[in-house]
DNA sequence: ACTATTTATTACCCGTGGGTAATATACGGG
DNA sequence: CCCGTATATTACCCACGGGTAATAAATAGT
């Protein structure tokens, strides 16, 4: 079935027996990358710290140099995902355009996140496995995400780009579809994450949008704004907006001083 | 915090110390009712068999008279939920009407299921906690459910009641919204399960429907069928169709002879 | 009433895996 | 070159909870 000799998978900073002198934070992140993948693969309870360590060519106790325990690793995985979502929200909220326009942008970004490991961790991990404190943080953040969807919808209703509807339920419906992506999507399938995201942005808004979605027929019903809403559905353009996907996440990658960092001796 | 003396919760056939002479199957089901509630409340791994037993006024080993082990209990919970879904599908598939009409019916039924314990078990439990064999059964059944959604959509596209679209993605989007209900809904909130279900049936189909949804304007575009599609949105009528929610489930309640029944000595 | 069968209880086992203590090795600075 | 610190390893602990064996209590049949 399985025996030793990991094929030096992905890229572990601990090459079997050579120079293991990388920066601390790089190792920390490597642990998280491995952990989130394993947690998704086997489930939090099915995955063992021994296996996480094994995949990194180290042993379990070494992990405790970087984390207080298993549940903290889980929390940190979730936390990274949350920072990515925050970036999505921040990006979309500063963008100009109607409520519908912002909603669509958020859907695309969020959907694509759900096709990646850290995004999935937001919806596949069980809050009850976290410590009391961390659980509260997560719950608060979840409400923030929900609020973003709801706000854009309400905003759209006001500016006329979205049909009048119950913002709360509409947000649940949309977020549900998107979150579910994290359960079924796996890379290597017929569609790329980006493609799924764009398709969902259309599908999930065409029910509540006042304007026609597909291409023509911008029937002149929108009172204000609605500028660069959507370049009319280019098949596979080289994503024009790779500018800076990481606002807060980039900060974390560089600075990274806050947040517990392993056993405090 | 908590101490002994369970307040004889719900209705346990094992009243603390009196007549415990119920039929075997009734006890079996009582175990499942308690187990599914506890699993949802604390998560499968967080819940212990000791606690399940405690809530039933018995002790852990007694459970092994009815089930082979914890994972079998999990499977049986899931299995009941699956039978309920099968009923939904069976009901809707024999109903007359357009593809859209069937789709809406299925959505309503399925959504309401997601507000109940056994329905939630379909989407909140982790397949990886099941035995190899049972996991295969579940996966097969899941595909069947997905197929039902997809078929109705495809059917609707053909008969003109649904706009042309990718049936697979549309089904994922709809099922995602519905499955997510099982994660956020809890009874006692502002809306009843039924209300949520009806609202979702509208919301999730108005994007892909060719006919106007709300009330008037049946613009004459549907080529065939489309009979008793929907009584125009009665606020809280006493659900006209309580006829027989349980086809297969009813059979199980009465006959119930198949399926492993505890330790075979 | 006596016995066979079912169903429950008490007492126990033990594998698993998170977590820790003691210790060794590598690294960087004076 | 030596020492302090950071980082890793080996060896271990032990709580938890699923599962079992032995046994007792209840039930049904004749």
> Could you give the C-alpha distances from A23 to A13, A27, A179, B26, B95, in angstroms and in order?
9, 7, 34, 61, 65
Asked if A65 CB < 7 A from strand D, the reply is yes
CATH class of B24-63: mainly alpha
* DSSP conformation letters of B89-157: HHHHHHS-S-HHHHHHHHHHHHHHHTTSHHHHHHHHS-GGGS-HHHHHHHHHHHHHHHHHHHHHHHHHH
CATH class of B74-228: mainly alpha
Nucleotide nearest to B50 (CA to C1'): D17
Residue B159 backbone phi and psi in degrees, to 5: -85, 5
Token reading at A93: 């909220």
| CA B5 – CA B16 distance, rounded (Å) | 9
| CA B188 – CA B242 distance, rounded (Å) | 22
What pLDDT is stored for residue A45 in this prediction?
A: 98
What residues of B are in the A interface, CB distance below 8 Å? 42-43, 45-46, 126, 128-129, 165-166, 169-170, 172-181, 183-184, 196, 199-200, 203-208
Domain boundaries, chain A: 1-67, 75-253
B24-63 and B74-228, same CATH topology: no
Token reading at A182: 């994290």
What pLDDT is stored for residue B23 in this prediction?
A: 75
Q: How does residue B212 score in pLDDT terms, banded at 50, 70 and 90?
A: low
Q: What contacts B182, CB < 8 A, 6 or more positions away? A: B114, B115, B119, B120, B122, B123, B124
Taking CB atoms and an 8 Å cutoff, what residues of chain A touch B178? 176
- Residue nearest D20, CA–C1′ metric: B61
For residue A162, what are the β-bridge partners?
A209
CATH number of A1-67: 1.10.10.60
The answer to whether the CB atoms of B177 and A176 lie below 8 A apart is: yes
Q: What confidence tens digit (pLDDT) does each residue in B32-86 have?
A: 999 999 999 999 999 999 999 999 999 999 999 999 999 999 999 999 999 999 9
Residues 5-44 of chain B sitting with CB below 7 angstroms of strand D: 19-21
Burial class (CB in 10 A: 0-12, 13-18, 19+), A80: buried
Q: What confidence tens digit (pLDDT) does each residue in B123-155 have?
A: 999 999 999 999 999 999 999 999 999 999 999
CATH class of A75-253: mainly alpha
3-state secondary structure of A209: strand
Q: What contacts A91, CB < 8 A, 6 or more positions away? A: A105, A109, A247
Q: In terms of Cα–Cα distance, which of A47, A49, A186, A36 is closest to A121?
A: A36
| CA B254 – CA B257 distance, rounded (Å) | 9
| CA A97 – CA A226 distance, rounded (Å) | 5
pLDDT tens-digit profile, chain A (265 residues): 444 344 444 556 555 434 445 578 999 999 999 999 999 999 999 999 999 999 999 999 999 999 999 999 999 999 999 999 999 999 999 999 999 999 999 999 999 999 999 999 999 999 999 999 999 999 999 999 999 999 999 999 999 999 999 999 999 999 999 999 999 999 999 999 999 999 999 999 998 998 755 443 344 444 444 444 444 444 444 454 444 444 666 666 554 444 444 444 4
Name the DSSP letter for residue A208: T
Q: For strand D, give the nucleotides within 7 A of a protein CB.
A: 6-11, 16-22, 26-28
What pLDDT is stored for residue A262 in this prediction?
A: 47
Pairs across A and B, CB distance < 8 A: 83
């Amino acid at each position: 079935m399985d025996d030793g000799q990991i094929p030096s998978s992905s890229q572990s900073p601990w090459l079997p027996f050579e120079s293991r002198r990388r920066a601390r934070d790089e190792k920390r992140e490597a642990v998280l990358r491995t952990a989130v993948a394993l947690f998704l693969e086997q489930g939090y309870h099915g995955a063992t710290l021994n296996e996480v360590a094994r995949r990194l060519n180290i042993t379990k106790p070494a992990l405790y140099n970087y984390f207080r325990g298993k549940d903290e690793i889980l929390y940190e995985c979730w936390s990274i995902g949350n920072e990515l979502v925050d970036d999505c929200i921040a990006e979309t909220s500063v963008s100009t355009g109607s409520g519908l326009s912002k909603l669509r942008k958020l859907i695309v970004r969020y959907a694509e996140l759900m096709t990646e490991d850290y995004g999935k961790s937001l919806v596949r991990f069980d809050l009850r496995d976290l410590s009391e404190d961390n659980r509260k943080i997560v719950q608060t953040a979840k409400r923030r995400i929900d609020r973003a969807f709801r706000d854009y919808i309400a905003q759209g209703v006001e500016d006329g780009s979205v049909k009048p509807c119950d913002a709360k339920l509409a947000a649940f419906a949309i977020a549900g579809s998107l979150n579910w992506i994290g359960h079924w999507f796996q890379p290597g399938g017929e569609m790329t994450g980006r493609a799924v995201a764009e398709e969902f942005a259309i599908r999930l808004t065409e029910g509540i949008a006042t304007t026609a979605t597909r291409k023509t027929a911008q029937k002149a019903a929108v009172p204000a704004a609605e500028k660069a809403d959507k370049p009319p559905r280019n098949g596979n353009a080289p994503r024009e907006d790779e500018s800076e996907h990481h606002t807060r996440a980039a900060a974390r990658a560089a600075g990274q001083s806050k947040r517990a960092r392993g056993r405090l001796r």
